Structure 1
Amino acid sequence: MNPLDPRDELTAVNVVTEAGRMGPKEYDGVLLASFGGPEGQDDVIPFLRNVTRGRGIPDERLEEVSHHYRANGGISPINQQNRELKAALEAELAARGISLPVIWGNRNWDPYIPETLQNAYDAGHRRLLMITTSAYSSYSSCRQYREDIGIALTESGLDGKLEVDKVRQYFDHPGFVEPFIEGTAAGLADVQAQLAAAGTPDAPIHILFATHSIPTRDAEASGRSVDEPRHFAEDSAYVAQHLATGAEVMRRMESQSAQTATWSLVYQSRSGAPHVPWLEPDINDAIEELAAQGVKGVVIVPLGFVSDHMEVVWDLDTEALETCSNLGIAAKRVPTPGTHRKFVTGLVDLICERTARNNIKDRPALTQLGPWYDVCRPGCCANFRGEKPTIAGADTRVGMGHDPYPSERVAP
Structure 2
Amino acid sequence: MSPSGEESTGPVDGILLLSFGGPEAPEDVMPFLENVTRGRGIPRERLAVVAQHYLHFGGVSPINGINRALIAQLEAELADRGHDVPVYFGNRNWEPYVEDTVAAMRDNGIRRAAVFTTSAWGGYSSCTQYNEDIARGRAAAGDRAPELVKLRQYFDHPLFVQMFVEAIADAALTLPAELRQDARLVFTAHSIPLAVRSRCGTDLYARQVAYASRLVATAAGYADYDQVWQSRSGPPAVPWLEPDVADHLSALADAGTKAVIVCPIGFVADHIEVVWDLDYELSALAKERGVAFARVATPNADRRFARLAVDLIDELRDDREPSRFEGPRGVEAPPLRGVSINGALCTPECGDPSARPTQ
TM over 0.5: yes
Alpha-carbon offset, residue 213 of structure 1: 0.7
Provide the rounded CA distance (Å) in 2 between the counterparts of 1:81 and 1:344. Answer: 12
Amino-acid identity (%): 43
The runs of at least 4 consecutive aligned structure 1 residues that moved more than 6 Å come to none
Q: Does 1:180 align with 2:164?
A: yes
Provide the rounded CA distance (Å) in 1 between the counterparts of 2:126 and 2:204. Answer: 12
Q: Does 1:252 align with 2:219?
A: yes
Q: Any conservation in 1 of the 2:198–2:204 contact (CA below 8 Å)? A: yes
- Is the partner of 2:196 in helix, strand or coil? helix
Alpha-carbon offset, residue 71 of structure 1: 0.6
Q: Any conservation in 2 of the 1:195–1:330 contact (CA below 8 Å)? A: no
Letter in 2 for 1:216: L
Q: Does 1:378 align with 2:330?
A: no
Match of 1:243 among 210, 215, 218: 210
Match of 1:335 among 284, 291, 297: 297
* Structure 2 unaligned blocks of 5 or more: 328-332
Q: Any conservation in 2 of the 1:195–1:297 contact (CA below 8 Å)? A: no
Alignment of 1:81-96 (within 5 A): 81-96=66-81
Alignment of 1:1-400 (within 5 A): 15-16=1-2, 23-158=8-143, 161-191=145-175, 194=176, 196=178, 204-221=182-199, 223-224=200-201, 235-254=202-221, 260=222, 262-355=224-317, 359=318, 361-366=320-325, 367=327, 368-372=333-337, 374-375=339-340, 377-384=346-353
Deviations 1:236-257 (A, max 9, x none): 1111111111111111112xxx
Q: Any conservation in 1 of the 2:10–2:319 contact (CA below 8 Å)? A: no
* Residue-pair matches, total: 349
Letter in 1 for 2:168: T
Query: How well do the aligned residues superpose, as a CA RMSD in angstroms?
Result: 2.4
Provide the rounded CA distance (Å) in 2 between the counterparts of 1:32 and 1:411. Answer: 27
Q: Closer, same or farther in 2 for the Cα pair 1:187/1:411, shift >3 Å?
A: farther
Letter in 2 for 1:374: V
1:227 maps to what in 2? none
**TM-score of the aligned structures, taking structure 1 as reference length:** 0.79
Q: Closer, same or farther in 2 for the Cα pair 1:335/1:380, shift >3 Å?
A: farther
Provide the rounded CA distance (Å) in 2 between the counterparts of 1:380 and 1:279. Answer: 20
Q: Closer, same or farther in 2 for the Cα pair 1:218/1:205, shift >3 Å?
A: same
Q: Any conservation in 2 of the 1:205–1:261 contact (CA below 8 Å)? A: no
Provide the rounded CA distance (Å) in 2 between the counterparts of 1:108 and 1:93. Answer: 27
- Is the partner of 1:363 in helix, strand or coil? coil
Letter in 1 for 2:61: S
Provide the rounded CA distance (Å) in 2 between the counterparts of 1:343 and 1:175. Answer: 7
Provide the rounded CA distance (Å) in 2 between the counterparts of 1:157 and 1:170. Answer: 30
Bigger Cα Rg: 1
Of stretches 129-138 and 374-383 in structure 1, the one that deviates more from structure 2 is 374-383
Provide the rounded CA distance (Å) in 1 between the counterparts of 2:29 and 2:180. Answer: 45
- Is the partner of 2:353 in helix, strand or coil? coil
Q: Any conservation in 2 of the 1:206–1:261 contact (CA below 8 Å)? A: no
Q: Closer, same or farther in 2 for the Cα pair 1:250/1:31, shift >3 Å?
A: same
Q: Any conservation in 2 of the 1:38–1:47 contact (CA below 8 Å)? A: yes
Q: Any conservation in 2 of the 1:21–1:374 contact (CA below 8 Å)? A: no
**TM-score of the aligned structures, taking structure 2 as reference length:** 0.90
Q: Closer, same or farther in 2 for the Cα pair 1:350/1:59, shift >3 Å?
A: same
Provide the rounded CA distance (Å) in 2 between the counterparts of 1:303 and 1:165. Answer: 25
Letter in 2 for 1:126: R
More helix by share: 2
* Structure 1 unaligned blocks of 5 or more: 1-14, 225-234, 255-259, 388-409
Provide the rounded CA distance (Å) in 2 between the counterparts of 1:379 and 1:208. Answer: 34
